[in-house]
Amino acid sequence: MKAQAILAVVVLLLAAGCSDPKPDFYWYHPEKTFEEVKAEYSECELRAQQEATKAIEGEYFDRLRSPVALANGGEPPAKKNKSTDPSLQAKADWGALYKQNAFDGCMQSRGYVRLRGYQVPRTLKTKELPLGAIAGKK
């Protein structure tokens, strides 16, 4: 009997561990349909990419270390590929950081708020996207 109970607990834990993780938050605007949210997401994503590209064009970023290395107390991250130029990696990392911040600012400027998963009603249509999940009226 104990073996069956232990087996049931192990199966439940494995099932919970293998389930897809939920997004940290959803971008939501109470007056927008899902299609409107999706369109504005795309506009903000394009604007954010343009701003990030423009921000890291200068020579200033050629001399910076990656934000990942700085967050690790100045230690560079474990090398994945020896042929990767550290300055190119630093620019890519800073670009990703700028893009996320520009995207967040764009969505907030349009009146979007972040909802946690438990705050999203089941009546809304949702979709996970690279810069944050979205939710809108069906």
pLDDT of residue 38: 96
**What total of structural domains would you count in the chain?**
1
Each residue's pLDDT tens digit, 84-110:
677 777 788 888 999 999 999 999 999
Distance, in Å, from the CA atom of 22 to the CA atom of 84, rounded to the nearest integer, reads 32
Distance, in Å, from the CA atom of 9 to the CA atom of 59, rounded to the nearest integer, reads 56
A 10 A CB-CB count for 34 gives 16
DSSP label of 116 = -
pLDDT of residue 76: 55
* Domain assignment present for 11: no
Return all residues near 103 (Cβ < 8 A) that are at least 6 apart: 44, 45, 47, 48, 131, 132
Low-confidence ranges of the chain (pLDDT < 50): 4-19
The domain of 109 spans 23-59+93-137
* Domain assignment present for 70: no
Structure tokens at 111: 């009146």
